[in-house]
């Protein structure tokens, strides 16, 4: 009889537990309000805002590309089309001394920062066009105080493989920042921002060449 009572009690407890489970909401059910929040609606204003952000990004990228793009209008007028082509495509560029500069000619082809040199001589924003005048660059050369320093140099540009250009010579006065064709017909000054970069670049090239020469000796 006790066994029957025990079974009855057990069945009663299970039934009560089952009824309790059905009457008690699940834990997740207590937070139904969080799951019933309305989703973000794709409104016309939202679409326009997204389009605006995309267009702003495209516009910013376009302005960045335009700012970095080489401007050639003034330099093409000054250098002429063949020299522009030479600065862009010349296979071989040789650095030579003129004036009081004294160093062995250096082949710049493949040297570090050669692309920056090409850009500096091509981009019209690197020159103060108010200084453009007739006359040779070599007349502006000054004798450096230190024999190790260089004052004036000549760039010889050639294209021996493709022969897209003839021989082009350009003269540069590093102290004053004057540049121009070696025929002495005209010259123009580089801006104050470009001048020290040109001087530093060529002085570094010559110093490396001298160091290599000393090591060979």
Residues 6+ away with beta carbon under 8 Å from 56:
none
Average pLDDT over residues 12-32: 50
Torsion of CA 22, 28, 32, 38, to 10 degrees: -140
pLDDT band, residue 9 (cuts 50/70/90)? low
Whole-number Cα distances in Å, 199 to 54, 99, 134, 138, 172:
43, 15, 23, 16, 9
Angstrom distance (rounded) from CA 105 to CA 215: 17
Query: pTM for the complete prediction?
Result: 0.69
C-beta separation of 195 from 181 below 8 A: no
Residue-wise pLDDT tens digits, 186-203: 999 999 999 999 999 999
Residue-wise pLDDT tens digits, 60-110: 443 343 444 589 999 999 999 999 999 999 999 999 999 989 999 999 998
């Amino acid at each position: 009889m006790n066994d029957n009572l025990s079974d009855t009690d057990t069945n009663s407890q299970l039934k009560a537990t089952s009824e309790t489970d059905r009457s008690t909401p699940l834990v997740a059910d207590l937070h139904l309000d969080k799951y019933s929040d309305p989703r973000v609606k794709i409104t016309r204003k939202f679409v326009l805002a997204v389009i605006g952000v995309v267009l702003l990004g495209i516009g910013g990228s376009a302005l960045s590309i335009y700012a970095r793009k080489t401007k050639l209008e003034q330099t093409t007028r000054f250098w002429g089309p063949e020299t522009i082509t030479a600065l862009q495509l010349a296979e071989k560029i040789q650095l030579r001394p003129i004036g009081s500069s004294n160093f062995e000619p250096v082949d710049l082809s493949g040297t570090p920062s050669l692309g920056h040199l090409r850009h500096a001589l091509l981009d019209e924003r690197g020159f103060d066009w108010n200084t453009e005048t007739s006359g040779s660059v070599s007349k502006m050369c000054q004798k450096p105080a230190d024999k190790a320093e260089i004052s004036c140099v000549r760039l010889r540009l050639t294209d021996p493989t493709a022969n897209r250009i003839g021989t082009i010579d350009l003269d540069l006065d590093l102290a004053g920042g004057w540049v121009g064709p070696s025929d002495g017909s005209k010259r123009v000054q580089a801006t104050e921002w470009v001048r020290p970069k040109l001087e530093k670049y060529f002085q570094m090239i010559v110093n490396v060449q001298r160091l290599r020469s000393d090591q060979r000796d």
